[in-house]
């Protein structure tokens, strides 16, 4: 008798998830780049002074606010955030697969990896 989810089924789901995440994020980044070039492509940079990145990219709320205003820079940032979230989603789906298989060792190891990555994301954000 066949299990509900075989190892191969889980691998296919995870592979499709990773593929979809990369395609979606790349598409959003390309759309954002086109909008950015359309909005700001005529400006010439002043290389005599350095201007750092503004604070609107440090918060998801600010990024989404910029996306709602069709800011090309913010749309690009949204694509990058989706690209970063793709492997995290893969880890979550791996945990689900290991729970269905009742593989306790890999559940613990994968949870540990998830906590390390989420901790790095949370504590790495600039306040």
Domain residue limits, the chain: 7-39+56-124
Q: How many helices (H) and strands (E) does the chain have?
A: 4, 0
- Ranges under pLDDT 50 in the chain: 1, 127
What pLDDT, in 10s, does the model give residues 53-83? 666 667 788 888 889 999 998 999 999 999 9
Q: Residues 58, 125: contact at Cβ < 8 Å?
A: yes
Cα dihedral 64→66→69→73 (10° resolution): -120
Residue 14: predicted pLDDT: 87
Residue 56: predicted pLDDT: 62
Give the residue among 64, 82, 77, 98 at the shortest CA–CA distance from 17: 82
Angle between helix 72-101 and helix 7-40 axes, rounded to 10 deg:
170
* Eight-state DSSP code of residue 58: S
Residue 101: predicted pLDDT: 85
User: Left if phi > 0, otherwise alpha if psi is -120 to 50, otherwise beta: which for 126?
Assistant: beta
Residue 46: predicted pLDDT: 77
Residue 107: predicted pLDDT: 93
């Amino acid at each position: 008798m066949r299990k509900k989810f075989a190892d191969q089924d889980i691998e296919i789901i995870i592979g499709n998830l990773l593929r979809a995440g990369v395609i979606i994020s790349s598409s959003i980044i390309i759309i954002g780049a086109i909008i950015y070039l359309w909005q700001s492509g005529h400006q010439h940079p002043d290389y005599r002074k350095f201007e750092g990145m503004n604070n609107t990219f440090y918060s998801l709320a600010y990024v989404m606010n910029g996306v709602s205003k069709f800011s090309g820079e913010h749309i690009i940032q949204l694509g990058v955030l989706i690209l970063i979230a793709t492997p995290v989603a893969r880890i979550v789906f791996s945990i689900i697969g290991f729970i269905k298989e009742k593989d306790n060792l890999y559940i613990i190891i994968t949870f540990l990896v998830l906590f390390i990555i989420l901790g790095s994301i949370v504590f790495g954000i600039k306040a």
